[in-house]
Amino acid sequence: MATPEVPKTCKVILADTIAKKLLAEVKDSLAKVQSESAAKPTLAAFLANDDPAAAQYAEWSKKTCEENGFDFDLRKVNKENLEEAIVAANQDDGVDGIIVYYPIWAGNQQQDRYIQETVALSKDVEGLCHTHLFNMYHNVRFLDPPANLKKSILPCTPLAIVKALEHLQIYNPILAYGNRLFGKTITVINRSEVNGRPLAALLANDGATVYSVDISGVQLFTRGSGIRQPRHQVLDKKDWGLKDVLPLSDVVIGGVPTDGFKVATDLIRDGAVCVNFSSYRNFDGPAVKEKASIYVPSIGKVTIAVLLRNLVRLIANRQVRQ
Amino acid sequence: MATPEVPKTCKVILADTIAKKLLAEVKDSLAKVQSESAAKPTLAAFLANDDPAAAQYAEWSKKTCEENGFDFDLRKVNKENLEEAIVAANQDDGVDGIIVYYPIWAGNQQQDRYIQETVALSKDVEGLCHTHLFNMYHNVRFLDPPANLKKSILPCTPLAIVKALEHLQIYNPILAYGNRLFGKTITVINRSEVNGRPLAALLANDGATVYSVDISGVQLFTRGSGIRQPRHQVLDKKDWGLKDVLPLSDVVIGGVPTDGFKVATDLIRDGAVCVNFSSYRNFDGPAVKEKASIYVPSIGKVTIAVLLRNLVRLIANRQVRQ
């Protein structure tokens, strides 16, 4: 008996497609902030670990920078010299933005956190300085209220996922800016301080009902019934797990960086949107394509485009008259 | 104690906004089918009942026709002469499309059905002839396969709601044409042969999970798990009611033409999209605006725009070389 032909219903969207659109926008905004005679903007990138993934990411970043009118200055330094090297870059007018590849002190997250705070706010292209993080968690979009001319910087990977969801039209532009996820239910698997928790907060601040899942359990991020709060609130969902939240979710975002972890496809809702931001793919690709309406297998190239977008924002912020 | 200010989160979208966009498209497509010397396209409208709502609707249709380059020829006839009058219009080259205001024989739907079938297929601007209905239910988009040059006509009110959902970005243009509602759950309250049942079929044929509700109960319209069927299938949901389907629904479409009926707002999901197509408003407006992300209070003007869109399609179909 012939197997009946199964129509392909899942749309696979590659990071490249989303990144290209963002890079075109970056090009336009760069032209606006850059006078003709000015030198190319320079991103100083500090590599102080031996992680081959970091080296690979730096390589991609360099290529994207050079293709889009930016200078990428990779600085390999010892852990011990990193702090002084960052301070020097903070003071160097030839450096427009600073990126540091983490983790540096494996097993000592506090020391990595110290380094993040060492980067000058005006050069924090990754949005990891406390002021940027505080603004993000409090849904504050500018650094200089009430003038509101200098935009606060959002962390690259969470913002890359927001940009991906905008591209996928999960953000509904018919709704008011800031409420465009109202009515959407989203599961984020990963609650790290650099990725999962900021992402859950960003999505909830835009109106979504967000289930944030990690090994310690499930937290619900919302802006309250009818999104009546100015910023998100968090509620522990005791005894809840993926089996409870996946069937409710319009969008499932996987970001657990281990190859042993896979999202159970049978729990995903028919027609859901699935996005992977882990270096390991947290979805079973062939199976998820039989169930999802949209699948984004990776996000890395979007993250690099967002990095350049943030860099242009830093330059624009510096041009605001005090 | 001061009442805390409640941010307005519900976007109210008026039919006029959606209709204007469609009428601009109609203008463009009319220009394509119409040679400069040709007379204005003529819509013959048969009014054979005493329904003030029908007279009102005819008045609006006349106004919209005249504003958009169409002739609207209202023909008031006795019930007894209606059939012959339609046959004459079928044969009259000066008539491009025919609309009849129903109901005519109150309490005798069969006789109304007979009149619907009397209208020539090539002038059936309402999409109510059996060939048009059959094609709609079977998800067949053209009248002349395999050439596929003549588009099949869809019924006006259901198509108006589809166009409204496209405007509201519920249809996701990222997905393949024909699958753009995949992942969406929609409740349609009304299962009449002219409105609710065709609407449920259209939405399911585009990939949605549709709960069709009337006083006799709930039916589930889908294209199967993973939208694997070429057209929808229907399943009775025994003992289900609005209390079961409203909390699951991304979109709630109300169309019960009685003022005694209201959708219970507390059953509607936070952030749902609510659309009313009944002449009576089936939602409690002030309450639904506290809960929905988008509310469309009426659809009538969109229906008239779709009527003209269908009329231009009939003219284009006639121009296809046999």
CB distance A270–B225 less than 8 Å? yes
CB distance B271–A168 less than 8 Å? no
CB distance B227–A290 less than 8 Å? no
What sign for the dihedral angle of Cα A44, A49, A53, A59? positive
State both tokens at B115.
């009149």
Query: Within chain A, which residues score under 70 in pLDDT?
Result: 1-7, 36-37, 322
- Where are chain A's structural domains? 40-126, 157-301
Residues of chain B with C-beta less than 8 angstroms from the C-beta of A174? 11, 13, 167-169, 294
Nearest 10 degrees: CA dihedral of A156, A162, A164, A168? 180
pLDDT given at position B240: 95
Residues of chain A with C-beta less than 8 angstroms from the C-beta of B225? 270
Give the gap in angstroms from C-alpha A207 to the nearest C-alpha of chain B.
9
Query: Is the CATH code 3.90.1150.10 the one for domain B39-125?
Result: no
Report the chain A residue with the minimal C-alpha distance to residue B18: A174
Interface of A with B (CB under 8 A): 6-7, 9, 11, 13, 167-169, 172-176, 179, 182-184, 207, 209, 225-228, 230, 250, 269-273, 290-291, 293-294
Check if the beta carbon of residue A142 is closer than 8 Å to that of residue A151: yes
pLDDT given at position A42: 97
Check if the beta carbon of residue B43 is closer than 8 Å to that of residue B125: yes
Cα distance between residue B250 and residue A61, in whole Å: 40
Report the chain B residue with the minimal C-alpha distance to residue A288: B226
Q: Which residue has the tokens 């928790």?
A: A197
pLDDT given at position B3: 43
As for the ipTM of the complex, it is: 0.81
The CATH number of domain B157-301, selected from 3.40.190.10, 1.10.260.40, 1.10.1740.10, 3.40.50.720: 3.40.50.720
pLDDT given at position B36: 62
pLDDT tens for each residue of A200-256: 999 999 999 999 999 999 999 999 888 888 899 999 999 999 999 999 999 999 999
Report the chain B residue with the minimal C-alpha distance to residue A224: B270
Nearest 10 degrees: CA dihedral of B242, B245, B246, B250? -150
Interface of B with A (CB under 8 A): 6-9, 11, 13, 167-169, 172-176, 179, 182-184, 207, 209, 225-228, 230, 250, 269-273, 290-291, 293-294
pLDDT given at position B267: 96
Report helix, strand or coil for B295.
strand
**The domain at A40-126 falls in which architecture?**
3-Layer(aba) Sandwich (3.40)
Residues of chain B with C-beta less than 8 angstroms from the C-beta of A270? 183, 209, 225-226
Residue of A170, A174, A205 to mutate when probing chain B, most B C-beta within 10 A = A174
Give the gap in angstroms from C-alpha A183 to the nearest C-alpha of chain B.
4
pLDDT given at position B2: 44
Residues 6+ apart with CB under 8 A from B92: B44
A40-126 shares its CATH topology with A157-301:
yes
pLDDT given at position B73: 97
Active site residue A156: yes
Beta strands, E only, chain A: 11-12, 42-47, 71-76, 97-100, 185-189, 209-214, 217-222, 233-237, 251-254, 273-276, 294-296
Buried b (16+ CB within 10 A) or exposed e, B246-264: beebbbbbbbbeeeebbbe
Residues of chain A with C-beta less than 8 angstroms from the C-beta of B168? 172, 174
Report helix, strand or coil for A264.
coil
Ordered mean pLDDT values, 10 residues apiece, chain B (322 residues): 57 97 96 80 96 91 95 95 96 97 84 92 96 94 94 97 98 95 97 93 97 94 89 93 96 88 92 93 92 96 97 95 68
Q: Which residue in B174, B184, B271 is closest to A182 by CB distance?
A: B271
Average pLDDT of every residue of chain A: 92
Give the gap in angstroms from C-alpha B271 to the nearest C-alpha of chain A.
4
Give the gap in angstroms from C-alpha A2 to the nearest C-alpha of chain B.
16
Three-state SS sequence of A188-237: EECCCCCCHHHHHHHHHHCCCEEEEEECCEEEEEECCCCCCCCCCEEEEE
Q: Which residue in B172, B173, B293 is closest to A183 by CB distance?
A: B293
Q: Angle A292-A177-A252 (CA atoms, 0-180°, nearest 5)?
A: 20
